[in-house]
Structure 1
Amino acid sequence: MLSAFVYCPRLFFLQWVDALWAANADLAEGRRVHTRVDAGGGAAPLPDEGMLRAARSVSLASGNLGITATLDLVEADTGSAVPGAVIAVETKKGHPTGEGTAWDADAVQVCAQILLLREHGYPCDRGEIFYAATRQRVNVEPGPDLVEQTLTALADARAAAARLRPPPPLEASGKCPRCSLVGICLPDETNLLTRRADRSPRRLMAPDPDSRPMYVTEPGASVGLDHGRLKVSKRRERLCEVRLLDVSHLCLYGNVQVSAQALRTLFDRDIDVFHFSGGGWLLGLSTGLPNKNVQLRIRQTTTAARGDLTAPTSMIAGKIRNSRTLLRRNGGAPVAETVAQLAALAASAEQASDAAQLLGFEGTAARLYFQHLPLLLPHADELPGPAFTGLRNRRPPTDAVNCLLSFCYGLLAKEAMAVGFDPYIGLLHRPRFGRPALALDLAEEFRPLLADSCTIGLINNREIRPSDFIVRAGAVALTPDGRKSVIGAWERRLSTEIRHPRFGYTVSYRRAIELQTRILAAHLIGETDHYHPLVTR
């Protein structure tokens, strides 16, 4: 991690302090070139116990320096006149500088290894870095300047780790595009929001991952593990199987079982399991060990405890503005007055002085919005059950439109549970047993953009059929085929790309949700003064 600090102090903080990690092609290649040295091998006797010839993956620690390290390779320095002299050899996947020298971060890392070897009694006057891309070794000599640079970097890294917020991002740096944490760090976006830069952000966020959610909606099905694949079976009949590599998270609807072996493997791979009722209500989450970003959860808890409304007012204003946009685009002249009222309510929400006032503005806006939502659903009368009158009802929904809305809201809450937050401590929604209050907070601005739009498209495009619903005892529910239709439309909506209104680059809604959660995290830890919601035009 010392080399990471020299390379980028913010990268060091995110990895070492916040324990955030993400893979990319460069990391995969780095693991590949380290395969041999990571396997270990060779004896590493102490200087008074015998001659060290070559040893791989040697672990050393120093209380004086306050560091531990695993050295890729320690081998005898056959060119030294000092008996028992050794050299530290570090393997890197890349190439040296244009002058054929080691990069600063690499040189500091090897210098720290040399200091460790010396403290353990090994004579060591130099190290080497093997750059796999050019297959050459570059010599590193620990002169006074390099030693001072290394010790200074150690002290600065400790000071950075003791702070409550990460160092600021690099500005317009060429290091950022290939960094594995660029989608978490958000260097250009953070600099723009903190006014450290006035240029439009580069499109640095990684594209959508190849993995996708896996949904199991068949009643009585079970999910197991079979040679790196998740298999779904029912009464010993295999229904389908999916490679673990292709699964981002697992969603189980109704009476679906999952084996203990599958759960352990999913936890090892940081794949969450979401449990829904048959009607699509989010009931729970099975996950591995909690995120190690303790400082973020502390800030979240203290912000909620003191009732800070900085973020909630922005979230609700964003939700109202997005509701207004949906009505304006699809409702025409009959909703013109309501569109103007929603604009005024959004402005009022931003100035709310307490939670009760904010919730009052939200409630008024929601009532106006849902009153006119039937105008956007000319084919809703083709669906079974009572007509949708513009009133929300749930648990159970009593009409087909509310049934679809509730199902989509459950999917949206699932998407918003991320980035190391405690999902049950909300900034606006009051904590309640079993309710993911913060996920509901984060979902607010996306309700019109995703859940409501998905419902409108399903009905108006006749993607959902009357036979996809069950009407029983005054309640309306989706059939298994109906759930599949909604999930398919939902995934297509998440993959829809938009131009981000603040940052100017193209991003899918799936990435936009992640981006907003990162922006909220930056606000809670004090990097930005305000939370900026996603508002479309």
Structure 2
Amino acid sequence: DDLPALTRRSIPELRATAGGGRIPPPLVDRPKCPRCSLVTICLPDEVHSLHAPDIPPRPLAVPWHEALPLYVQQFNAKLAKKGDMLEVSKDDKVLATARIAEVSQVVLMGNIYVTTPCLQALMERQIPITWHSYGGWFHGHSLGHGHKNVELRTAQYRASFDEARCLRIARGLVAAKIANSRTLLRRNWKPEEKPERTLLDLKKMIEQARRCESLESLLGVEGQAAAIYFANFRELIRRSDDANFAFDFTTRNRRPPTDPVNAMLSLAYSVLARSLTVTLQAVGFDPFRGFYHQPRYGRPALALDLMEPFRPLLADSCVIQAINNGEVHPSDFVSVAGSVNLHPDGRKRFIAGFERRLDQEVTHPLFGYRLSYRRLLELQCRLFGRHLLGELPEYPNFTTR
């Protein structure tokens, strides 16, 4: 009798909470949290740990996602729904199948035909479809109704018009990007003589970024750090006397990339931007309203903001691994009208390497538990939401040592 009575008394409280317009604060050290399916959304231990650093969070969430992206890049292929499966075919020949329940998003590269029943099934399940050019340029994505978290978007829009808050957020993002770039150089340096001067210069620029008093000056510091970083990027690439395996890099260029290394960097940044755009949408953000990158029609500014610290850790690192491990070769690239792009077979291997990188586990420096980079992107997006909603005084950027 006690349980039905308790349930009846709780119903008005639940209704009042749901209609109150404010998300209740996360619970602290409650035994019910480990069994709750929403623990990765409300992050009770993580939020409490950032307020009380002496109390480490419990590793309540699984460190990886069971569902994974489905990539389709076969020219003129068809994507259709067959029962509870997705089927990729061309000229009535089945090329691949995947269970819908095991697909987190569908990534289409080039001219791919998607049937209406397939679109409807994916939208009903809130599985996004992202559309890319044949060369990998991110055009946009299709989704069902989208997230209903109006409170988070309201907080996002309100904060994005606060210049002081935009600058504070941007300073942290750029400082974290420079710090992670410095770490990548230190870890992957090939010559015997260590780049002590370069590392010292980047360390100074981290502090400069934290002290910038305007977005314009911050852009200048970021540009100087990027120039130093990419001037030394070639020293991270393994040398080869065999022309079939040799890559060269002199400077960063894009739109279009004019050499194989820049082509891979551009593709990696595009795939990373797509990943964060989808994650931000799933969390409840508007990915097109940012704080550092200025709003422009069709540009996912918030995704570009939050991906800054992850450019070296995910995109640049993936390019270095693909070259140094022999996963791609100079023969995998084609040059048309001054633009260099990966051949489909090479792009398939490169994207597979990028997805493997997302599945690699890393120890979170603030929380102490291990999780995949794929889960880390979601965790950081949710922590950013907690900051905008006032639960965290600052956004804790991710940096690695």
TM-score range, shorter chain: over 0.9
Query: Which residue identity is paired with 1:433?
Result: Y
3-state SS of paired residue (1:511): helix
3-state SS of paired residue (2:362): strand
Q: Counterparts of 1:44-123 in structure 2 under 5 Å? A: 102-103=2-3, 107-109=5-7, 111=8
Over 3 Å counting, the alpha-carbon distance change for 1:240 and 1:155 in structure 2 is closer
Over 3 Å counting, the alpha-carbon distance change for 1:298 and 1:333 in structure 2 is farther
Indicate conservation of the 8 Å contact 1:380/1:459, yes or no.
no
Larger displacement relative to structure 2 (197-206 or 493-502)? 197-206
Residue 171 in structure 1 maps to residue 69 in structure 2: no
Residue 472 in structure 1 maps to residue 336 in structure 2: yes
Q: Which residue of 1 aligns with 2:187?
A: 329
Indicate conservation of the 8 Å contact 1:216/1:251, yes or no.
yes
Residue 158 in structure 1 maps to residue 22 in structure 2: no
3-state SS of paired residue (1:264): helix
> How far off is 1:386 after superposition?
8.9
Gaps of 5+ in 1: 1-100, 112-148
Structure-2 separation of matches of 1:457 and 1:251: 23
1:498 to 346, 349, 362: 362
Query: Which residue identity is paired with 2:37?
Result: S
Indicate conservation of the 8 Å contact 1:385/1:399, yes or no.
no
Structure-2 separation of matches of 1:333 and 1:205: 43
Structure-2 separation of matches of 1:209 and 1:498: 14
Q: Which residue of 1 aligns with 2:349?
A: 485
Q: Which residue of 1 aligns with 2:84?
A: 228
Query: Which residue identity is paired with 1:436?
Result: P
Deviations 1:113-170 (A, max 9, x none): xxxxxxxxxxxxxxxxxxxxxxxxxxxxxxxxxxxx55xx735852674354x22221
Structure with the bigger percentage of helix = 2
Indicate conservation of the 8 Å contact 2:126/2:146, yes or no.
no
3-state SS of paired residue (1:503): coil
Indicate conservation of the 8 Å contact 1:379/1:459, yes or no.
no
Q: Which residue of 2 aligns with 1:259?
A: 115
Q: Counterparts of 1:376-455 in structure 2 under 5 Å? A: 376-379=236-239, 382=243, 387-389=248-250, 391-417=251-277, 418=279, 419-455=283-319
3-state SS of paired residue (1:242): strand
Query: Which residue identity is paired with 1:434?
Result: G
Structure-2 separation of matches of 1:340 and 1:157: 57
Q: Which residue of 2 aligns with 1:367?
A: 227
Over 3 Å counting, the alpha-carbon distance change for 1:424 and 1:385 in structure 2 is farther
> How far off is 1:219 after superposition?
1.1
> How far off is 1:473 after superposition?
2.3
Structure-2 separation of matches of 1:484 and 1:337: 38
Say which one has the larger Rg: 1
2:46 to 170, 183, 189: 189
2:145 to 284, 289, 299: 289
Structure-2 separation of matches of 1:411 and 1:466: 21
3-state SS of paired residue (1:208): coil
Structure-2 separation of matches of 1:412 and 1:160: 35
Q: For the aligned residues, what is the CA RMSD? A: 2.0
Sequence identity percentage? 45
Deviations 1:275-331 (A, max 9, x none): 111121111111111211011111111211222222221111111100000111122
Structure-2 separation of matches of 1:264 and 1:174: 40
Over 3 Å counting, the alpha-carbon distance change for 1:242 and 1:167 in structure 2 is same
Residue 462 in structure 1 maps to residue 365 in structure 2: no
What is the TM-score of this pair, normalised by structure 1?
Answer: 0.70
1:246 to 99, 102, 105: 102
Over 3 Å counting, the alpha-carbon distance change for 1:294 and 1:306 in structure 2 is same
Indicate conservation of the 8 Å contact 1:217/1:480, yes or no.
yes
Query: Which residue identity is paired with 1:354?
Result: S
Indicate conservation of the 8 Å contact 1:318/1:533, yes or no.
yes
Deviations 1:42-94 (A, max 9, x none): xxxxxxxxxxxxxxxxxxxxxxxxxxxxxxxxxxxxxxxxxxxxxxxxxxxxx
Deviations 1:492-537 (A, max 9, x none): 1111111111100011111111110011000111110101111001
Q: Which residue of 2 aligns with 1:18?
A: none
Indicate conservation of the 8 Å contact 1:275/1:284, yes or no.
yes
1:304 to 160, 163, 169: 160
What is the TM-score of this pair, normalised by structure 2?
Answer: 0.93
> How far off is 1:176 after superposition?
0.6
Gaps of 5+ in 2: none
3-state SS of paired residue (2:37): coil
Indicate conservation of the 8 Å contact 1:385/1:398, yes or no.
no
Q: Which residue of 1 aligns with 2:393?
A: 529
Larger displacement relative to structure 2 (153-162 or 487-496)? 153-162
Structure-2 separation of matches of 1:499 and 1:102: 44
Structure-1 separation of matches of 2:148 and 2:287: 14
Deviations 1:96-124 (A, max 9, x none): xxxxx645xx5333x3xxxxxxxxxxxxx
3-state SS of paired residue (1:205): coil
Structure-1 separation of matches of 2:137 and 2:88: 22
Over 3 Å counting, the alpha-carbon distance change for 1:435 and 1:423 in structure 2 is same
3-state SS of paired residue (2:130): strand
Query: Which residue identity is paired with 1:218?
Result: Q
